[in-house]
């Protein structure tokens, strides 16, 4: 009887020690600690803008942290927060810049129908703050070693196709002033019928298609932005959709 009590006491102490150990290591090991507590101070609008900058693939065209380098036709954004006012930046993001009927190079898309006023304001706050690095605001990686479908699926998120064409290419994202009133699906019978070869799909993504002026949003020109192997991967992925 006494031995049983002693054993229970030892076990209880052991459990307590293990618990304390786990608690202590949580604070000291940043790789396993749950990110429940803020570690540094960052303006929430600037942080949200940094995540929007990745989600809407601004980073794919303007480079990571807006530092350029993706294409000679897309300017870096570093430093422009000092020279451009809130109103000008808001107008550029909402209405786009420099699209021509037959784009031969990347143009700044019209984002008004796709990005909310709050998100545009956050993007402006982020640009005006000098596009700082923000924790977890990093583009989804595109794996090169898991086959074209997986790469295409990742590229569909990385380049923000998903924001305009919806999850699984379902389409239907409102584009109220356009003839179809919505951004088209990239799945289903009508799409398959019109885009019945890989080459047609690939060429369309590369060239883009301008269907009207702001406030209509058009299909961006991705030639020179998305490498060839990823364009092919996007096509492979689109063909797996319903």
Q: Which is nearer to ligand HEC, 21 or 174 (CB)?
A: 174
152 binds ligand HEC (CB under 6 A): no
HSE-up of residue 29 (Cα within 13 Å, Cβ side)? 9
Residues 10-39 that bind ligand HEC (CB under 6 A): none
User: For residue 217, what are the contacts with CB-CB under 8 A and spacing of at least 6?
Assistant: 96, 109, 110, 111, 112, 113, 114, 164, 175, 178, 183
> Is 109 within 8 Å of 173 (Cβ atoms)?
no
Please, which of residues 178-217 interact with ligand HEC by CB under 6 A?
Answer: 183-184, 186, 191, 194, 201, 204-205, 209, 211, 217
Asked if 106 touches ligand HEC (CB under 6 A), the answer is yes
From 2-10, 14-22, 28-36, 70-78, give the range in contact with ligand HEC by CB under 6 A.
70-78
> Is 164 among the residues that bind ligand HEC (CB under 6 A)?
yes
DSSP of 1-26, one letter per residue?
-HHHHHHHHHHHHHHHHHHHHHHHHH
Q: Does 236 bind ligand HEC (CB under 6 A)?
A: no
Residue 109 makes contact with ligand HEC by CB under 6 A = yes
The span of 7-15, 27-35, 108-116, 130-138 binding ligand HEC (CB under 6 A) equals 108-116
Continuous H helices in the chain = 2-28, 44-55, 58-62, 80-83, 86-95, 117-128, 148-158, 161-165, 188-194, 198-207, 228-238
Q: How far is the CB of 136 from ligand HEC (least distance, A)?
A: 18
Residue 65 found at the interface with ligand HEC (CB under 6 A): no
Query: Contact between 129 and ligand HEC (CB under 6 A)?
Result: no
* Burial (CB count <10 Å: 0-12, 13-18, 19+), residue 58: buried
Q: Is 223 in the site for ligand HEC (CB under 6 A)?
A: no
Exposed, middle or buried: residue 16 (CB in 10 Å: 0-12, 13-18, 19+)? exposed
Residues forming the site for ligand HEC (CB under 6 A): 56-58, 60-62, 73-75, 77, 80, 89, 92-93, 97-98, 106-109, 111, 114, 123, 159-161, 163-165, 175, 183-184, 186, 191, 194, 201, 204-205, 209, 211, 217-220, 222, 225, 234
């Amino acid at each position: 009887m006494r031995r049983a009590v002693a054993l229970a006491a030892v076990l209880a102490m052991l459990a307590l020690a293990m618990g304390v150990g786990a608690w202590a290591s949580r604070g000291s090991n940043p790789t396993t600690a749950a990110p429940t507590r803020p570690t540094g101070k960052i303006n929430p609008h600037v942080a949200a803008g940094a995540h929007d900058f990745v989600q809407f693939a601004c980073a794919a065209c303007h480079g990571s942290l807006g530092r350029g380098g993706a294409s000679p036709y897309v300017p870096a954004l570093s430093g422009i927060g000092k020279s451009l006012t809130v109103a000008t930046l808001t107008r550029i993001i909402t209405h786009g810049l420099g699209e021509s009927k037959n784009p031969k190079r990347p143009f700044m898309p019209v984002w008004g129908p796709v990005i909310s006023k709050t998100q545009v304001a956050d993007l402006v706050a982020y640009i005006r703050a000098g596009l700082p690095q923000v924790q977890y605001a990093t583009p989804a990686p595109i794996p090169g070693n898991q086959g074209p479908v997986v790469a295409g699926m990742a590229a569909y998120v990385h380049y923000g196709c998903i924001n305009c064409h919806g999850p699984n290419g379902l389409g239907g994202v409102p584009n109220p002033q356009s003839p179809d009133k919505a951004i088209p699906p990239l799945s289903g019978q009508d799409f398959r019928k019109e885009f019945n070869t890989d080459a047609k799909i690939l060429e369309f993504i590369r060239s883009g298609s301008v269907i009207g002026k702001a406030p209509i949003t058009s299909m961006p020109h991705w030639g020179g932005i998305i490498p060839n192997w990823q364009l092919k991967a996007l096509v492979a992925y689109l063909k797996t959709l319903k």
